[in-house]
Structure 1
């Protein structure tokens, strides 16, 4: 069995959409940027406003807003990332329940539910407080 790791939004402007959802939901806020993170972004040519991946944290699952330009009708724009203790075993269990395997990558597996909605299985974080994103791009 898995647990919701985060809810991922594919979008054109992650910072704008992240601020919207943080304002909409009680107890949620855009994850702050420290000097180290700002320096990493700058080295890649980004600022917090142009960051291609913006996180929102609150009392429930984190929300991840990632830049995916253009609308693709073969890829849902919102999907769950689900923690899995044993990703390979969970893939097999979910296939028995009617899911299909789309692709396997080093840190996550893209699957589809019985109606074709995408979701990702990610390796359960060892340190739940670590603000890492396991699935940067499920596209």
Structure 2
């Protein structure tokens, strides 16, 4: 049997703050631990309250991000709204690409696709 997709994982130096940032940015919420309080040093699971998106684990790591991500998130949204939350625009949509390349507050790249109206 082939493997099946489970979750996404994103590394962060300040995993608590980055979990909150992504919750605000994409409308996710922290998934509460049914067994009680999750220790602050543990990874933080965030989820789509509507149940449409994948579970994302924000994992604590000691090192700063150093090179381009080999895997990243693609999201629907408005680049200016992400910038207002603290993201950086790395590359604007243009003739050669149909999306904006951005970085979250810790430098993790993600692509923003604007919905056609």
TM tier, smaller: 0.3 to 0.5
TM-score normalised to the size of structure 1?
0.39
Q: Which has the higher contact order (CA 8 A, sep 6+)?
A: 1
| TM-score normalised according to structure 2 size | 0.46
